[in-house]
């Protein structure tokens, strides 16, 4: 079975939500749509307070190259444009829309026909207008990624979902198999490559079987590769290494080795944008955690408050200690549930106070140089050495250990028996030496 060097299997807790079919969350009465949900330039609002919008109406755009358009996810009235809580930035400009309860679609959203006649440029324009970003987490604008500066020969589709707890991509692969494959074929056409490979971890056998059958049935030229289940298999560079045995050097991007990596969720969004002319205004979010009463996979409108998702999952069984946007390894902990779902929100994980205490117990003991972090590091760094630099307050000495190679997967910190906050230290070094 293919894999990369380093990494380790981490108990996934995926069973909490993996059998839960995707449910659609009832329309919220208000959405908060931040104008910065992607990597790149922040959008300028094109609507103002009091404007009427429909579902899918453009509300924010930017003329910068690396940016992504923002659309209304509800029909209703713009209540205000102001600073609001943001799950990544803390605070950011957001458009607040009060629902009129009708969910009237924008007039531009009609099913397209004669898809096969669309040229590469037309398809890229559609994707740009739909505001599609990479839905794996980094939220990189899709129209930029699919139009690489260098020639590429392979399109990799990331169905790994190696983050513990999260199951939204898995459910998407099971329930929207055909749409995802159609989306992949569209991306294949845009990039103009022959080879398309979908990488999926061995613990998602059903998805692998289903995708393989459909590919045979529809005669798609798509290979499905079964990968070893271990963290961080889904990291872009590690996925390329595992499937193609190519290594992307530090500071380089996948297209430097002739590869484009895209998430299955993105493929689905591309399908929706091209076939149904639907902008990216909703996504699948896994709401999970041992203290969530009913862990679920929910299709929600961008801008819905976390609180509404959690309430839909019937609240908590224990006192929550942490609310995390994303998975437990790379997600960000939040201080409130009054936050909007953004395009990059793959999951909402709630850890109970008990779990938080367990995980924070005995933090920052002295390093015993056991070498676990060195063995697990997927990019061949010496995390313990960087951590010691921070402890000894010798940040200037850290440069020799290549801190900028770090992909911040957090595996070193996970395995550390002395419970040192290695990754925090590396982030500090990166911030200070930049």
Partner 1 sequence: MSEKSNSVDLAITSSPHIRSKETTAKIMWSVTVCLIPSGLVSVYAFGISVFWIILTSIICAMASEWLFNCYLQKKPNSLMDGSAVLTGLLLAYNLPPGAPLWMAGLGSFVAIVFAKVVFGGLGFNIFNPALIGRVFLMASFPVLMTRWPALSNIDAITAPTPLAVFKDGFSRSNVLNPIEIINYSYQDLFLGLRGGCIGEASVLALLIGAMYLMFKKYISWKLPLSFVATVGIFTWIFGGSSLLRGDFLLHILSGGLILGAFYMATDYVTGPVTIQGQIIFGIGCGIITSIIRLWGGYPEGVSYSILLMNMVTPLIDRFVKPKRFGDK
Partner 2 sequence: MKAIILGVMALSGLGLAFGVLLAWVSKKFHVQIDPRVEKVTELLPGVNCGACGFAGCSALAEALVADTAQLTACPVSGADSKKQIAQELGVCAVDLHNITPLAVVACNGGTRAKDKFKYQGLADCRVAVKTMGGPKNCKYACVGQGTCATVCPANAISMRADGIPLINPDLCVGCTKCVAVCPSNIIYMLEREKKVYIKCRSRDKGAQVMKNCKCGCIACMKCVKECPVKCISIVDNLAVIDHAKCINCQKCVAVCPTKCIAVL
Residues that bind partner 2 (CB under 8 A): 89-91, 332-335, 360, 364, 390, 393, 421, 424-425, 427-428, 431-432
HSE-up (13 A, CA, CB side) for residue 351: 24
Q: Nearest distance from residue 131's CB to partner 2, in Å? A: 25
In this structure, what token pair is assigned to residue 87? 């799950």
380 binds, among partner 2, partner 1, none (CB under 5 to 8 A by kind): partner 1
Q: Using the minimum distance from each CB to partner 2, give the nearer residue, 220 or 359.
A: 359
Q: Nearest distance from residue 333's CB to partner 1, in Å? A: 5
In this structure, what token pair is assigned to residue 193? 């490559």
Q: Using the minimum distance from each CB to partner 1, give the nearer residue, 165 or 268.
A: 165
Place of tokens 């329930």: 175
Burial 71-108 (b: 16+ CB within 10 A, else e): bbbbbbebeebeebbbbbeeebbbbbbebeeeebebee
- How far is Cα 161 from Cα 422, in angstroms, rounded to an integer? 24
In Å, the largest CA–CA distance within the chain is 64
Q: Nearest distance from residue 32's CB to partner 1, in Å? A: 15
Phi/psi class of residue 431: alpha, beta or left (left: φ > 0; alpha: ψ in -120 to 50)?
alpha
Q: Using the minimum distance from each CB to partner 2, give the nearer residue, 254 or 320.
A: 320
Q: Nearest distance from residue 283's CB to partner 1, in Å? A: 21
In this structure, what token pair is assigned to residue 170? 């898995």
Could you give the strand order of the β-sheet that contains 296-301, starting from the edge strand earlier in sequence?
A: 22-24, 296-301, 282-288, 347-352, 320-325, 332-334
372 binds, among partner 1, partner 2, none (CB under 5 to 8 A by kind): partner 1
Q: Using the minimum distance from each CB to partner 2, give the nearer residue, 39 or 424.
A: 424
382 binds, among partner 2, partner 1, none (CB under 5 to 8 A by kind): partner 1
* Residues facing residue 418 across a β-bridge: none
Give burial (CB, 10 Å; 0-12/13-18/19+) of 315: middle
Q: Using the minimum distance from each CB to partner 1, give the nearer residue, 222 or 412.
A: 412
Q: Nearest distance from residue 335's CB to partner 1, in Å? A: 5
Q: Nearest distance from residue 208's CB to partner 1, in Å? A: 26
Q: Nearest distance from residue 421's CB to partner 2, in Å? A: 4
Pairing outcome for strands 320-325 and 223-227: unpaired
390 binds, among partner 2, partner 1, none (CB under 5 to 8 A by kind): partner 2
375 binds, among partner 1, partner 2, none (CB under 5 to 8 A by kind): partner 1
Q: Using the minimum distance from each CB to partner 2, give the nearer residue, 390 or 412.
A: 390
393 binds, among partner 2, partner 1, none (CB under 5 to 8 A by kind): partner 2
The total of other beta-carbon atoms located within 10 Å of residue 399's CB is 12
Q: Nearest distance from residue 317's CB to partner 1, in Å? A: 12
415 binds, among partner 2, partner 1, none (CB under 5 to 8 A by kind): partner 1
Question: What is the DSSP secondary-structure string of 293-340?
Answer: SS-EEEEEETT-BHHHHHHHTT-BSS-EEEEEES-TTT-EEES-S--B
- How far is Cα 172 from Cα 103, in angstroms, rounded to an integer? 23
418 binds, among partner 1, partner 2, none (CB under 5 to 8 A by kind): partner 1
136 binds, among partner 2, partner 1, none (CB under 5 to 8 A by kind): none
Report how far apart, in Å, the C-alpha atoms of 419 and of each of 72, 84, 321, 363, 372 are: 44, 34, 19, 5, 12
Q: Nearest distance from residue 162's CB to partner 2, in Å? A: 23
Q: Nearest distance from residue 412's CB to partner 1, in Å? A: 9
Q: Using the minimum distance from each CB to partner 2, give the nearer residue, 39 or 421.
A: 421
Q: Using the minimum distance from each CB to partner 1, give the nearer residue, 220 or 359.
A: 359
Burial 180-199 (b: 16+ CB within 10 A, else e): bbbbbbbbbebbebebbbbb
Q: Using the minimum distance from each CB to partner 2, give the nearer residue, 119 or 357.
A: 357
159 binds, among partner 2, partner 1, none (CB under 5 to 8 A by kind): none
Q: Using the minimum distance from each CB to partner 1, give the nearer residue, 271 or 401.
A: 401
């Amino acid at each position: 079975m293919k894999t990369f060097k380093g990494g380790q299997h981490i108990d996934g807790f995926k069973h909490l939500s993996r059998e839960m079919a995707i449910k659609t969350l009832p329309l919220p009465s208000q959405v908060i749509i931040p104008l910065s949900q992607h990597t790149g330039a922040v959008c300028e609002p094109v609507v103002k307070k009091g404007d009427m919008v429909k579902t899918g109406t453009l509300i924010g755009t930017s003329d910068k190259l690396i940016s992504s358009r923002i659309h209304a996810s509800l029909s209703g009235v713009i209540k205000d444009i102001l600073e609001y809580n943001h799950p990544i930035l803390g605070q950011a400009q957001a458009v607040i829309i009060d629902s009129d309860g009708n969910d009237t679609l924008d007039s531009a959203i009609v099913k397209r026909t004669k898809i096969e006649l669309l040229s590469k440029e037309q398809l890229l324009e559609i994707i740009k207008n739909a505001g599609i970003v990479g839905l794996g987490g980094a939220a990189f604008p899709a129209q930029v990624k699919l139009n690489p500066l260098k020639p590429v020969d392979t399109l990799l589709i990331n169905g790994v979902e190696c983050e513990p707890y999260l199951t939204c991509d898995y459910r998407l692969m099971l329930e929207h198999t055909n749409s995802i494959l159609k989306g992949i074929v569209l991306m294949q056409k845009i990039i103009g490559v022959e080879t398309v490979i979908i990488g999926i971890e061995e613990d998602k056998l059903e998805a692998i079987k289903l995708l393989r059958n459909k590919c045979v049935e529809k005669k798609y030229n798509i290979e499905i590769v079964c990968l070893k289940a271990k963290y961080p298999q889904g990291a872009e560079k590690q996925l390329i290494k595992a499937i193609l045995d190519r290594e992307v050097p530090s500071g380089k991007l996948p297209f430097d080795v002739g590869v484009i990596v895209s998430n299955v969720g993105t493929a689905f969004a591309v399908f929706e944008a091209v076939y149904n002319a639907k902008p990216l205004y909703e996504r699948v979010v896994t709401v999970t955690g041992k203290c969530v009463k009913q862990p679920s996979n929910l299709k929600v409108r961008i801008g819905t408050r976390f609180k509404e998702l959690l309430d839909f999952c019937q609240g908590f069984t224990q006192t929550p200690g942490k609310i995390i946007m994303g998975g437990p390894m790379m997600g960000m902990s939040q201080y409130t549930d009054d936050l909007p779902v953004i395009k990059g929100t793959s999951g909402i994980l709630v850890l109970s106070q008990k779990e938080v205490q367990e995980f924070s117990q005995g933090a920052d003991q002295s390093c015993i140089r056991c070498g676990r972090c060195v063995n697990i590091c997927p990019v061949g760094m010496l995390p313990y050495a960087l951590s010691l630099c921070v402890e000894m307050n010798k940040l200037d000495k850290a440069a020799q250990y290549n801190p900028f190679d770090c992909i911040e997967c957090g595996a070193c910190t996970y395995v550390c028996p002395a419970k040192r906050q290695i990754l925090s230290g590396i982030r500090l070094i990166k911030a200070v030496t930049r």
